[in-house]
Amino acid sequence: MIKWLGIRWSFHPLFVLVMIASLATGFFSELLTLFLIVLVHEAGHVITARAFGWTVREVKLLPFGGVVEVDDASGLPAGQEALVAIAGPLQNLWMGLAAWGCGQLGWWDAEWAEYVWKANMMIGLFNLLPIYPLDGGKLLQAAFSYGFNYFAMMKWTARISIALSAMMIVFSLLIAFRPNGGIQLNLLAIGIFLLLTNWTYYRNIPYLFVRFLMHRDRVAARAAARGAYARPLFVSGKQPIGSVMRMLWREQYHLVYVMDPGGQGARVVPEERLIDRYLTERDPHRAVMELI
């Protein structure tokens, strides 16, 4: 692990295995090229994230890209998340076009130029697969933020990512049954990594959701700064407070209308009051009316 520009940069064990395999088979120049491509790809994420004022803590490099860890990611706007995600594949686009152009102009050996632009296209397109934490998965998550509440967004992102990761594993094994085929070990390893990552993500959703609630004050501050309308939520007084919390949307500030059991009236409660009660209440199944 090294520290550069105030950010920790580290190699994921999967990248280390690829490095060892490349060195053992004599593909040192290809390994160095892959490393530089991945580094520029991640630099695109980091530069864009810092332009938005994000605090980037660590970058973990993988054979197909990397994972940028930022502070309080759950409280960041979905639009910014999408732009940071797409910034990586855009680096592969210009690098691939530049390599292709160098080959066409005769500045590079044609075979080497072809390798570089194909490697860039492969890494860029692979990262656009809608599997978390790939860039495509983050774009999917950002898109879901406009169609689902935050809890449902996390669940659907994880479910789709798990399904597609499993399909990747199956595909890597089925290739072995083709004529002159063999198991695609690289694809298999990446598929297993993504499957385990998303399975862990799915199991940690309750804890990630609590972190999301702890940073809801930022949403309120942004809404107040731009004079945005509050989004009303109508709930029954008998509804468990845990289910009410799961109705919160990522970038919307809510006023919660708690209806009386008889439906004769409602109490208007700002979301931060309910969030505070939820975080301090030991029983998430208690009715909202009991807590206010």
Q: Verify that 209 and 231 share a domain, yes or no.
A: no
CATH number of the domain residue 219 falls in: 3.90.1280
Give kind and range of the element (H or E) at residue 86.
Answer: helix 78-104
In 3-state terms, what secondary structure has residue 13? helix
For 191-238, write each residue's pLDDT tens digit.
Answer: 998 999 999 999 999 999 998 998 888 777 777 777 778 889 998 888
Q: Verify that 70 and 132 share a domain, yes or no.
A: yes
Average pLDDT, the chain: 85
Q: Verify that 99 and 243 share a domain, yes or no.
A: no
Q: What is residue 266's predicted lDDT score, i.e. its pLDDT?
A: 78
DSSP state string for 43-85:
HHHHHHHHHTT--EEEEEEETTEEEEEETTGGGS-HHHHHHHH
Q: Which residues contact 267 (CB under 8 A, 6 or more apart)?
A: 257, 258, 260, 292
For 108-120, write each residue's pLDDT tens digit.
Answer: 888 889 999 999 9
Q: Verify that 82 and 144 share a domain, yes or no.
A: yes
Q: Verify that 148 and 104 share a domain, yes or no.
A: yes
CA-based nearest residue to 27, from 188, 191, 193, 186: 186
Q: How many distinct structural domains can be found in the chain?
A: 2
pLDDT level of residue 94 (50, 70, 90 thresholds): very high
pTM of the model: 0.86
Residues spanned by the domain of 91: 2-213
Q: Verify that 122 and 224 share a domain, yes or no.
A: no
Q: Verify that 196 and 256 share a domain, yes or no.
A: no
d(CA 62, CA 10): 9
Q: Verify that 129 and 92 share a domain, yes or no.
A: yes
